[in-house]
């Protein structure tokens, strides 16, 4: 009812963009992130999206890839899009592969929103744009699992369901900015987001589970709430 876009599956060209930084020049490797790429790609393909995957990019490369994707002609015959970004992060944004101490090579969230707003991405005007970000936004232990901050730090101890040595983190918060955007972050401002080196990010893996269990009968907002 909100988005009366009825495009036949045979002519619909849904596209999704996935950016994941795993290897860095100065920061720790994001062990387990491969599981997130694998899981999110499979989920999005099951939802009918053709997924474009980009690995290990600098902030400038991420900005370029986002801009190119925003002008993708296939969006004309699409009813929505997914943007998934996974990396180390700081309060200012998402770390590129050359980031050092969170002060250089940072992709700001404003850049993402500006690239896909109604002025710069008219091909997606009036169509849902779902933004999912797995990255830290600080160093506080806002939860219990190994973090994706810009600098090494001790893992959280309290409330951790498994050994802290086995876990790593990434951060974010639920936000709705600009028209037709739905954004879900893996943690709140100033806190870390958690990732298991063996199984992937807690946030991403739980998100995949909720989509698989509820996408057939639940609104996107309700799925986000459950995550």
Rounded average pLDDT over 175-201: 68
Is it the case that residue 160 has pLDDT exceeding 80?
Answer: no
Provide, rounded to the nearest whole percent, the portion of the chain with pLDDT above 90.
48
Q: In the chain, helix, strand, coil percent, each to 5?
A: 30, 20, 50
**Of residues 114, 113, 96, the one with CA closest to residue 105:** 96
- Residue 160 phi/psi, 5-degree rounding, is -75, 125
pLDDT at 138: 63
In 3-state terms, what secondary structure has residue 180?
coil
> Which one from 20, 72, 95, 136 is the annotated catalytic residue?
136
**Of residues 222, 192, 226, 191, the one with CA closest to residue 206:** 226
Is residue 77 within 8 A of residue 14, CB to CB? The reply is no
Sign of CA dihedral 218, 137, 155, 152: positive
In 3-state terms, what secondary structure has residue 200?
strand
Going by pLDDT thresholds of 50, 70 and 90, the confidence category of residue 1 is: very low
Is residue 43 within 8 A of residue 90, CB to CB? The reply is no
Q: What is the DSSP string of 4-57?
A: -----TTT---EEEEEE----SSS---TTHHHHHHHHHHHHHHTTPEEEEEES-
Going by pLDDT thresholds of 50, 70 and 90, the confidence category of residue 175 is: very low
> Which one from 20, 72, 88, 196 is the annotated catalytic residue?
88
Q: Which DSSP letter does residue 218 get?
A: S
Which range is least confidently modeled, 5-14, 141-150, 204-213?
A: 141-150
CB proximity list for 91: less than 8 A, separation 6 or greater: 137, 138, 189, 190
What is the C-alpha to C-alpha distance for residues 134 and 119, in angstroms, rounded to an integer?
26
Rounded average pLDDT over 127-141: 83
Domains of the chain: 15-226 (3.40.50.1460)
Q: Which DSSP letter does residue 147 get?
A: B
More confidently predicted of 176 and 84: 84
Whether residue 88 lies in the annotated active site: yes
Q: N- to C-terminal Cα distance for the chain? A: 24
């Amino acid at each position: 009812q909100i988005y009366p876009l009825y495009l036949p599956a045979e002519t619909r060209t849904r596209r999704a963009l996935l950016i994941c930084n795993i290897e860095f020049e100065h920061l720790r490797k994001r062990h387990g992130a491969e599981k997130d790429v694998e899981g999110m790609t499979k989920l999005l393909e099951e939802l009918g999206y053709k997924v474009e995957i980009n690995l290990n990019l600098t902030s400038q490369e991420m900005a370029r890839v986002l801009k190119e994707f925003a002008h993708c002609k296939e969006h004309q015959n699409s009813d929505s899009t997914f943007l998934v970004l996974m990396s180390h992060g700081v309060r200012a944004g998402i770390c590129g592969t050359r980031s050092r101490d969170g002060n250089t090579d940072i992709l700001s969230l404003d850049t993402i929103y500006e690239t896909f707003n109604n002025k710069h991405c008219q091909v997606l005007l009036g169509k849902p744009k779902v933004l999912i970000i797995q990255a830290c936004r600080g160093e506080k232990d806002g939860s219990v699992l190994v973090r994706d901050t810009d600098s090494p730090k001790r893992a959280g101890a309290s409330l951790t369901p498994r050994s802290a040595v086995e876990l790593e983190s990434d951060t974010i918060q639920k936000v709705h900015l600009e028209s037709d955007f739905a954004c879900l972050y893996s943690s709140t401002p100033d806190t870390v987001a958690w990732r298991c080196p063996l199984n992937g990010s807690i946030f991403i893996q739980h998100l995949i589970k909720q989509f698989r269990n509820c996408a057939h009968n639940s609104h996107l907002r309700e799925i986000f709430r459950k995550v």
